[in-house]
Amino acid sequence: MSDEKEWELFKQKLFAKSNINLNDYKAAQMQRRINNLMIRHGASSYSSFFQMLEKDSKMYKDFIDYLTINVTEFFRTPEKFVELEAKVLPDLLQRSSKLNVWSAGCSTGAEPYSLAMILAGLTPQTRHRILATDLDIEMLNKAKAGVYGSNDMKNVAPAILSKYFKHTDDLYSLSDEIKSRVDFQRHNLLLDKFETGFDIILCRNVVIYFTEEAKEGLYRRFFASLKPGGVLFVGGTEAILNFREIGFQHYLPFFYKKPL
């Protein structure tokens, strides 16, 4: 069997097992990532690698984590969170006193928790709805636990650190008060239905390996999920070049607004 046929069969088997469709990812980059992993595990073919994944549940979980690129930290790209706190959220709060927020591809929860801490500061008496979703159940369980290492904390201001975290050894435990503000759910961005009526959607550093077609489809669905005047916040390498064609207005760098 040729490598190409094996690759196609591998994609089919993985989709049946995990609901992850590798056809929505850039083929060259994804094959390179998987091939590197196969070499690390001593797999000589895609079929033998899939057999390994079938037999070893921990290896399978690690593989899914590797595919979904779970890199996270609080207030990632701090200058963007400054804009979020100083401009974007106050603008949204002028139109709605209680925001409906979605952190899509939330990984271990640093992003939605960062947002929850900002909103707790801006509107201490209001509990906004913050939905946080990810494909990876293991990441969602870590997010719900709210325990982080020092690498996740490098952008956290001392005042926030002392107010919302308990530091024990090398671990930082988030307060129950902030954890209670975020609703975590499993969700596949490429397959599952989207809710509507969001004031702001954050999808940052998630689509890096998606095909252009998958990205455009995703951004169009985000557009439909936002309220008029709602904002989409994307990652620092994910500028939407055809945002006007989709229907967005430019708001700030990496922030796109749905017209009123």
- The amino acid occupying position 251 is Y
Query: What is the spatial distance between Cα 225 and Cα 71, in angstroms, rounded to a whole number?
Result: 25
- Which residues lie across from 252 on neighbouring strands? 255
pTM, two decimals, is 0.83
Q: Is 129 left (phi over 0), alpha (psi -120 to 50) or beta?
A: beta
Average pLDDT of the chain is 92
Query: What is the spatial distance between Cα 82 and Cα 88, in angstroms, rounded to a whole number?
Result: 9
Query: What is the spatial distance between Cα 242 and Cα 248, in angstroms, rounded to a whole number?
Result: 9
Q: Phi first, then psi: what are they for 41, rounded to 5°?
A: -95, 0
Express each pLDDT in 128-138 by its tens digit: 999 999 988 88
The pLDDT of 217-242, averaged and rounded, is 95
**Residue 61 CB neighbours (<10 A):** 14
Q: Which pLDDT value is given to residue 1?
A: 43
Between 20-34, 65-79, 190-204, the lowest mean confidence (pLDDT) is in 65-79
* Domain architecture of the chain: domains with CATH: 3-67 (no CATH), 78-257 (3.40.50.150)
